[in-house]
Structures are given as structure tokens and as C-alpha cells.
A and B are shown apart, each in its own frame.
Chain A
Amino acid sequence: MEIVLRALRLFLPCLMPSWAFFKEIGPSPRIEYCTESDAPWQPAYVWPQGMGVQRHLQRLFYNADWNAHLFLTSLAERQLIEPDRDVEALIKHVLAQKAGRHVAAFRILLECREGSELRRDITYQSSS
């Protein structure tokens, strides 16, 4: 019964979407992780610099890494709104898959504009 209710809760917004895309451009999460407690923090995603037209066209057909990055971003947003152990575990799992090794901890930074300047603040850190 619980799974039916959960499925319904997840399915109904698909049947009646809000369509409010990009309603606000709020602070944007960035995830960093470390593989050991004293290891340096690494970004979960490193933006490519200067992709060519061919690469852009390829990504139209296959864009798995980028879509995984967007999924992680949505999980981070979810975790910031309402911290949840399962979501934290899922973020670690996705990061571990990406890194190919165990992830000790991750943190979420929020990047936003303040006046004409950009700022980035650590907003959340997972348990180790």
C-alpha cells in the first residue's frame, strides 16, 4: 500500500505538471566530495571549456554525464529544502559511481549573484 501511495505521489505531478520552468533563478547548488576524511574536496562536475560544434551535436543524442550532473543538482536542491537520510545516501551513491570509489562525505555550496558579484557559500555537509 505504501509503495502504491508513493507511486501515486510521484506520478500525479506528471499528469498535471506546473510547467513553471525557470520561474526564479535562485542560488545554484554545487557539489563537492572527498574520498577520505582528510582528502581535498573535489567538484562533482567540471565544466568543459570550449566544446566544438561536433561535440554539441553528439550531446544531442547522448548526454549521460550531463544529465547525471543535473540529477545530482536536483538531489542537492531537495536535500537543502528538506534534509533526508535516503537522499544523502543516494547522492553519495551517485558520487561514488562517478568517482569509481568510496565517497566519505560531500558538501553542497550555493552560488548566487549579490549585486554584480558572484558568491559561493558552503551550505550543507553530509555525515562522514
Chain B
Amino acid sequence: MSFEVALRVSEVLVAIALLQRSIEDARLGQAVTLAHGVLCFLLIIGVTTAPVLALLWLLGLRHLLMFGGPYNGGADKMAMLVLSCLLLARIAPTYAIAELAFAYLAIQTILSYWISGWVKFRNANWRNGQALSDVFAFSAYPVDARFRDFAGAPWLLPASLGVILFELAFPLALLNQTALYAALVCAALFHLSNAIFLGLNRFFWIWPSAYPAVLWLQDRALTS
């Protein structure tokens, strides 16, 4: 995937993710939602991209200040990361710096899976399935009271080990193009399952906006 195409696809995907978020945040103020919506639309159609990204970044910073941090944890952090890297890629004075900014996004995306897998791997409760059982038993996350019944289910152990293995092995997918596409599809499905069971819908929209950076980085690394 070429740099320009990957950048554009990333911009479109982050705009969709931010549009989804702004609709949820509508209760915060109609004017802000409208401004956000207009900016996302402009980003999707590719009009005055750099200023639009800058304004979205400022609105994101406002969001952080308003709530004393990310409103929705990792999803909002990822949104700021994506916006920052895309903005820098667009305004960078040289092509090399633009590539570095996009590569940074790709590396952070890869790390988001690997580090997450590593911290789970190091925790015995994750390796024996107890942690995933506790998520369903008493954490704030299960969206449906009936999901509490999943606590102690026999499939939690293979599910736990499967997630750890997938996350730890993710960087290896960069060695092969087909493997990377497959890994990204699995990652998107992983976010989809988290959205369904744990209500983490914003993660499902924002993480894939960084996938074009990973695809580009692999292409760049393999061809250079």
C-alpha cells in the first residue's frame, strides 16, 4: 500500500470513528457535535485535510481537558495518537518526517497488541483463565447481566490463551503480507467481540484506522 493511499484510507477511517464518537457525545453540546460532524465529513471527502486534522486534534485536546483525561480510556487515547500522527504526516516539512510520523503510528499499533499480550502472559491469572473469568464475574465491563454466567465457563481458558497467543504473535505477521492481512482481520474481529461482550464499541471503530499504517510499514520494510 503506497504512502499516500495508506494515509488517505487512515484519514477516512479515523473520520468515521470520530463521527461515531461525536454522535454519542452529542449530549455534551450541539454546537461542538455539529462542528465535529462537519470536520469529519470534510476529512472523509479529502477537503483541506491538514487544517481539518488540526481542528480535530484541537477538539480532541479540548475533550481531554474537559474530562481530565480520556473519556473512553484507550479508545480516546488511540484517537489522539492517530490524529497526531496523521496531522504530522500532512504538515511535515519533509517526506522523511512524514514517513516517520506514519511509521510511529504503525509501531504503536503493533505494540498495542504485543504489550497487551505480554502483560497478560506474565500474569498467572490470565494464563490459567481466572482473569477472564473475573472480567465476567465482577468487572464493570460485561454489557449484559446474563454474561456474568460466563464466569467459570470451561471455554474461558482456551479463549484466554488464544488472546495471549494472538497478541504476542502479532508482530510476526509483518513477515508475510497474507499473514498480516489475516492478522488484521483477526484483530478487527477481536475488537468486535470486545464491543459485543464488553461494550467497547469505540475501540472497534478507532483501531482499524491505524491498520493502513501497519500495511504501509510492512510494504515499505519489505521493498526497501
Residues on the B chain within 8 Å of A3, using CB: 65
A59 within 8 A of B: yes
With a 10 A CB-CB cut-off, give which of B20, B72, B112, B131 has the most chain A CB atoms: B72
**Nearest A-chain residue to B57, judged by Cβ:** A11
Given contacts A28-B139, A61-B20, A70-B72, contact A22 B199 (CB under 8 A): no
Complex contact B65–A66 (CB within 8 A):
no
Residues on the A chain within 8 Å of B112, using CB: 17, 19
* Interface residues in A, total, Cβ within 8 A: 49
Complex contact A10–B68 (CB within 8 A):
yes
Complex contact A17–B143 (CB within 8 A):
no
A48 within 8 A of B: yes
Complex contact A87–B24 (CB within 8 A):
no
Q: Is the interface on chain B under 10, 10 to 19, 20 to 34, or 35 or more residues?
A: 35 or more
Given contacts A15-B84, A25-B125, A71-B72, contact A47 B145 (CB under 8 A): yes
Stretch at the interface among A33-41, A99-107, A111-119: A111-119
Complex contact A48–B65 (CB within 8 A):
no
Give bound CA distance, A48 to B143, whole Å: 7
- A71-104 vs B: 1/0 string, CB under 8 Å? 1011000100000001100100000010000000
Chain A to chain B: the 5 pairs with minimum beta-carbon distance, closest first: A14-B80, A25-B134, A19-B115, A47-B145, A64-B24
Q: Supply 4 further A-B pairs (C-beta < 8 A) apart from A70-B140, A86-B68.
A: A14-B80, A23-B120, A24-B125, A63-B202
